Structure 1
Amino acid sequence: MPVIKIYDTTLRDGSQAEDITFTVEDKIRIAHKLDENGFNYIEGGWPGSNPKDVDFFEKVKHLKFEQAQIVAFGSTRSPRKRADQDPNLNQLLKAGTEVITIFGKSWDMHVQQALETDLDENLRMVAESIQYLKKNTEEVMFDAEHFFDGYKHNPEYALKVLKAAENAGADWIVLCDTNGGSMPWEVHSIFETVAGELKVKLGIHTHNDSELGVANALAAVKAGARQVQGTVNGIGERCGNCNLISVVPNLKLKMGMDCLDAKQMKKLKELSAFVDELANRSHWNHQPYVGKSAFAHKGGVHVSAIRKNRETYEHIEPELVGNQTRILVSDLSGKSNIVYKAQEFGLDIDSADPKVQELLEELKRAERLGFQYEGAEGSFELIMREALGQREEHFEFVGFRVIVEKRKEDEAPIAEATVKVMVNGVQEVTAAEGDGPVNALDKALRKALTRFYPELEEMSLYDYKVRILDESKGTSAKIRVLLESGDQNAKWGTVGVSEDIIEASWQALIDAIIYKLGVAPRHAKEKAESKPQPKLERRGSRFHLKI
């Protein structure tokens, strides 16, 4: 069974979509999620191109990834400039990743018109850049930009570019359908020809401008590609990239290729929703494989048949990708997901326990109100613990007040919050000013509780997102607030929903603090008890902690 490496470029190519913006913390959370899901390569960005990517690579140096390798991305050297003096190449090395991907021109028109240089100089740019990087890093990939268009216009030169990369020592050569206009039969035929000309490992990078990103990637794998590049949910510039959430199950379940294992496959739906949540956009209900409606059946012949045999109207078992069959008239199923998640949180619960059904009903009620728990695992775990009688109440809420005052037109408003809480029969009243009402409320709440729980000083608020749920209602619309909080051991997401942004924020803040006080210490203790002793492992010229 051929092994296909999965190369994710959500954090770089995906973030180029006009409606997508990731913070550095978003990128780190997504990177860890991709690692948990078994992805082989995670392209983090272009070092030196912007402060955000510089910050990401600096922080990621100190983080541990179980399986995935972080990749720095950039271009070949500039025309008529030495590779060792090229700022872009040296920024790539400075990022400190064990894998570097550079792209270069393989279409003669681009060489002459975009780069404004000659064809031979472009070949030298490709070869010298790869040679320089190979002297200083372990693995170098070459993305042949616009390869399929270039091959169709000048096949001889396009192949020369690939051979220059191969002879220079590239570990992978990736053929790119950058404009997204090729047809699957073209991709298959050209890829097959290239595979017969080169000995280096080959990959495929496709875009979705003709709605064929996934189809073209699969055609390339059929012709010999052993790496597929793409993004979660197909996000990316213009019409997007090849959607890895669709590619992976097609490879595994339809083509018999080895990529992710069964456990990782079951997390695809969760991964898809997680990235959409951090991108602050609604998850596409009709997305193949993982959408809420992907295995939904409504009325008549379909429902009758599906109850007898799911194969009548389902092309795979939805559980294989973390989804489930839904009969819309009664909305069956769901208990298995609850039990699975409980086990993930270390909770002992049986599917026959009546509390599972109660919890399922509570989650459905919350969902109708606008709550979603992808990206808000902290709130989700608190709900489960409450249903099982394991949620600890560390304080009693008495009340809060927020005042926002603007005194002059050219001055920023002043926000002040007062919070009243009761801890072990002692009432605490505190006030704080902040950069806006939510920040003031957060400061006042922590100030009130830190006297009793000094460990709250370790807790930080990393991210704050707001989404309007029903835009048609204007200023009276419901709002969902997603927070990411954490300490030195872990990070967790919490959620709140209300027509009032302050109330929604308060709900998420309360959950974040309760999680810190009651749940986070448990997980830290469990992790410490199960953690093996670290050992030093040599990878190339560097030593790493092996857990």
Structure 2
Amino acid sequence: MSNAVKIYDTTLRDGTQGEGISFSVTDKLLIAQRLDQFGVDYIEGGFPGSNPRDITFFQEAQKLKLKHARLAAFGSTRRAGVRSEEDSQLRTLLDSGMPVLTIVGKTWTLHVTEILRTTLEENLAMIEDSTRYLVAQGREVIYDAEHFFDGYKSDPDYAMKTLAAAMRGGASNLSLCDTNGGTMVDEFKAIVGRAVSEFGGDKVGVHCHNDSGLGVALTLAGVVAGATLVQGTANGYGERVGNANMTTVLPNLILKLGKTAHCAPQLAQLRDLSLFFDELANLRPDPKAPYVGHSAFAHKGGLHANAAQKVARSYEHIDPSLVGNRTRVLVSDMAGRSSLALKARELGIELDEKRPEMKGLIEELKEREFRGYEYEAADASFRLLVERHLGQRQTFFEVENYRVIIERHGQELWAEATVKLKVNGQSVHTVAEEAGPVGALDKALRLALDKTYPQLADMRLRDYKVRILEGNSGAGSRTRVLIESGDGAKIWGTVGVSDNIIDASWEALRDSVEYKLAIG
């Protein structure tokens, strides 16, 4: 059994069928180049001729100078009763100019008789003729056996005949598709095992969907059964609930199953690759994603954090750096001295857990979390808190007062914020207007400080989240505000809590500005 596995990425075709996923032609070209740099073996680009975007992509893709990956165009077998040479679908595939053509065929008798409305014999001929014709034109052909597992469970002999037909035509690989995503692991493994025994593992691939939450597990089971090509998508994008997630499949194959792949040397780029896809898709990354998620190696409990510091593998199943991730320590009311010292070190502060200030820091932290503060996404506010307890917090300005007025004039709504600060002993009074109160406060605060601290010019508010903590108090409920800010080089989070949403926002804004001034 071969130890090498080939990676077939179908993000640009199957992945784009996911709800909310859309890539421009430029995006698709960038993705193809990035996947090639990462080392995948095949990149499926879409349906040539199906829409103007894919038509343009395949035209431009012919100009790409890829180092390793082979681009694939996707289509179907010839139509019933039509010669391959005269089939428009096959002609479009050839005209795409792609070196690899992936064709999908029916393996389930239900689809042959009820969807295609043709005979079982004609369907076998369609598969074999189409494959042979495309191979004769000098193209590598991969056969996608659609609904293979449903078809096998309905009529195993016929399902196997469809694979044999593709092999007779010269297909380089038979990719068995769990199109409905409903197959269980044991039966999936057994069915793949039969295909491997009849055609050889070097000829069998798997293509799985995640409808039963088993997309990754099924893919791994297929490889264990002998398949040597795996199809999947970045971050699990895909129709319905998605496809097998390559950012989970790959490290499992390489780090857990000991398989080799051309992309294995680039595995440390996996998290960056995952973030790259989410950025182009305009999606927020899943913090809970295995291996690549922000929380994948985050430790909250004091015992866990302490143990992970001493022996990382005691609470981490792999070294996070192998996939481009890192260990994180989360600060909460569960934290002890070790957790706080670890977290402070992570933020660049050397904090001896035996220092007398630790007791007061822990007590205030727990009291603040009881009131609703949360520092897991507010590292900047936590750093300022630690520096205050250690007597290291710098004073850049003092707040004397602030005020916000909101007015509506017909259909126009605007907010005016007044901020009075003391900067270098001088009183500074500014007024600013914006559409909303938080924007007005942010603008007024900057106006008061920008002459003294020009480094604030490149700072921007990136995200703003509000959570009501005690809904039983109605409009007077306690509110937590989380703000994410950035300056183009660094991103940081701050938190504010108050019975007044404006005051909570002001606290988070003030911390954000103070943190920026502290780091320069």
Give the length in aligned residue pairs. Answer: 362
Residue equivalent to 2:234: 232
Instruction: Provide the secondary structure at the position in 2 that maps to 1:45.
Output: coil
Residue equivalent to 1:48: 49
Closer, same or farther: CA 119–468 of 1 in aligned 2, 3 Å: farther
Within 2, Cα distance between the matches of 1:333 and 1:211? 38
| Aligned mate of 2:307, from 296, 305, 308 | 305
Instruction: Provide the secondary structure at the position in 2 that maps to 1:162.
Output: helix
Residue equivalent to 2:21: 20
Within 1, Cα distance between the matches of 2:129 and 2:89? 13
Q: Aligned residues: percent identity?
A: 49
Within 1, Cα distance between the matches of 2:121 and 2:227? 28
Instruction: Provide the secondary structure at the position in 1 that maps to 2:128.
Output: helix
Closer, same or farther: CA 289–479 of 1 in aligned 2, 3 Å: closer
Residue equivalent to 1:5: 6
1:185 equivalent to 2:221? Answer: no
Closer, same or farther: CA 331–42 of 1 in aligned 2, 3 Å: farther
Closer, same or farther: CA 301–25 of 1 in aligned 2, 3 Å: same
Q: How big is each residue's C-alpha offset from its partner over 1:489-518, in whole Å with a ceiling of 9 and x where there is no partner?
A: xxxx99999xxxxxxxxxxxxxxxxxxxxx
Alpha-carbon shift at residue 137 of structure 1 (Å):
2.8
8 Å CA contact retained: 2:41, 2:262: no
Closer, same or farther: CA 365–327 of 1 in aligned 2, 3 Å: closer
Within 2, Cα distance between the matches of 1:334 and 1:95? 51
Alpha-carbon shift at residue 263 of structure 1 (Å):
3.6
Within 2, Cα distance between the matches of 1:44 and 1:207? 18
Alpha-carbon shift at residue 468 of structure 1 (Å):
8.1
Residue equivalent to 1:146: 147
Residue equivalent to 1:341: none
8 Å CA contact retained: 1:248, 1:260: no
| Aligned mate of 2:269, from 267, 270, 274 | 267
Residue equivalent to 2:225: 223
Query: Residue type matched to 2:35 in 1?
Result: L
Closer, same or farther: CA 494–41 of 1 in aligned 2, 3 Å: farther
8 Å CA contact retained: 2:78, 2:89: yes
1:287 equivalent to 2:283? Answer: no
Within 2, Cα distance between the matches of 1:238 and 1:365? 30
Closer, same or farther: CA 263–196 of 1 in aligned 2, 3 Å: closer
Q: Which runs of 5+ in 2 are unaligned?
A: 332-341, 349-375, 382-460, 468-480, 493-520
Query: Residue type matched to 1:73 in 2?
Result: F
Within 2, Cα distance between the matches of 1:79 and 1:478? 59
Within 1, Cα distance between the matches of 2:247 and 2:139? 29
Closer, same or farther: CA 150–193 of 1 in aligned 2, 3 Å: same
Residue equivalent to 1:109: 110
Within 2, Cα distance between the matches of 1:106 and 1:262? 33
Within 1, Cα distance between the matches of 2:305 and 2:233? 34
Closer, same or farther: CA 298–495 of 1 in aligned 2, 3 Å: closer
Residue equivalent to 2:32: 31
Query: Residue type matched to 1:209 in 2?
Result: D
Closer, same or farther: CA 227–333 of 1 in aligned 2, 3 Å: farther
RMSD of aligned Cα (Å):
3.0
Q: How big is each residue's C-alpha offset from its partner over 1:113-170, in whole Å with a ceiling of 9 and x where there is no partner?
A: 1111111111111011101100113311000000011000100110110101111111
Moved more, 33-42 or 198-207: 198-207
Within 1, Cα distance between the matches of 2:85 and 2:345? 60
8 Å CA contact retained: 1:252, 1:260: no
1:76 equivalent to 2:77? Answer: yes
Alpha-carbon shift at residue 470 of structure 1 (Å):
4.0
Closer, same or farther: CA 16–261 of 1 in aligned 2, 3 Å: closer
Q: Which runs of 5+ in 1 are unaligned?
A: 337-363, 370-466, 482-492, 498-547
Structure number with bigger Rg: 2
8 Å CA contact retained: 1:289, 1:318: yes
8 Å CA contact retained: 1:84, 1:132: yes
**TM-score w.r.t. structure 1 length?**
0.62
8 Å CA contact retained: 2:38, 2:263: no
8 Å CA contact retained: 1:326, 1:332: no
Closer, same or farther: CA 477–195 of 1 in aligned 2, 3 Å: same
Closer, same or farther: CA 83–471 of 1 in aligned 2, 3 Å: farther
Alpha-carbon shift at residue 112 of structure 1 (Å):
1.1
8 Å CA contact retained: 2:77, 2:105: yes
8 Å CA contact retained: 1:262, 1:320: no
Closer, same or farther: CA 56–305 of 1 in aligned 2, 3 Å: same
8 Å CA contact retained: 1:14, 1:231: yes
Q: How big is each residue's C-alpha offset from its partner over 1:202-224, in whole Å with a ceiling of 9 and x where there is no partner?
A: 10000000000000011110111
Following superposition of structure 1 onto structure 2, how do residues 286-435 of structure 1 map, counting pairs within 5 Å? Answer: 286-329=288-331, 330-331=342-343
Query: Residue type matched to 1:251 in 2?
Result: L
Moved more, 116-125 or 174-183: 116-125
Closer, same or farther: CA 317–479 of 1 in aligned 2, 3 Å: closer
Within 1, Cα distance between the matches of 2:84 and 2:282? 40
Within 2, Cα distance between the matches of 1:365 and 1:154? 53
Within 1, Cα distance between the matches of 2:286 and 2:3? 31
8 Å CA contact retained: 1:234, 1:243: yes
Alpha-carbon shift at residue 331 of structure 1 (Å):
3.9
Alpha-carbon shift at residue 472 of structure 1 (Å):
5.9
Closer, same or farther: CA 365–237 of 1 in aligned 2, 3 Å: closer
Within 2, Cα distance between the matches of 1:277 and 1:302? 32
Residue equivalent to 1:402: none
Residue equivalent to 1:132: 133
8 Å CA contact retained: 2:254, 2:264: no
Closer, same or farther: CA 42–367 of 1 in aligned 2, 3 Å: farther
Q: How big is each residue's C-alpha offset from its partner over 1:216-245, in whole Å with a ceiling of 9 and x where there is no partner?
A: 011110111000000001110001000111
Alpha-carbon shift at residue 63 of structure 1 (Å):
1.1
8 Å CA contact retained: 1:74, 1:89: yes
**TM-score w.r.t. structure 2 length?**
0.65
Instruction: Provide the secondary structure at the position in 1 that maps to 2:23.
Output: coil
Within 2, Cα distance between the matches of 1:263 and 1:48? 36
Residue equivalent to 1:249: 251
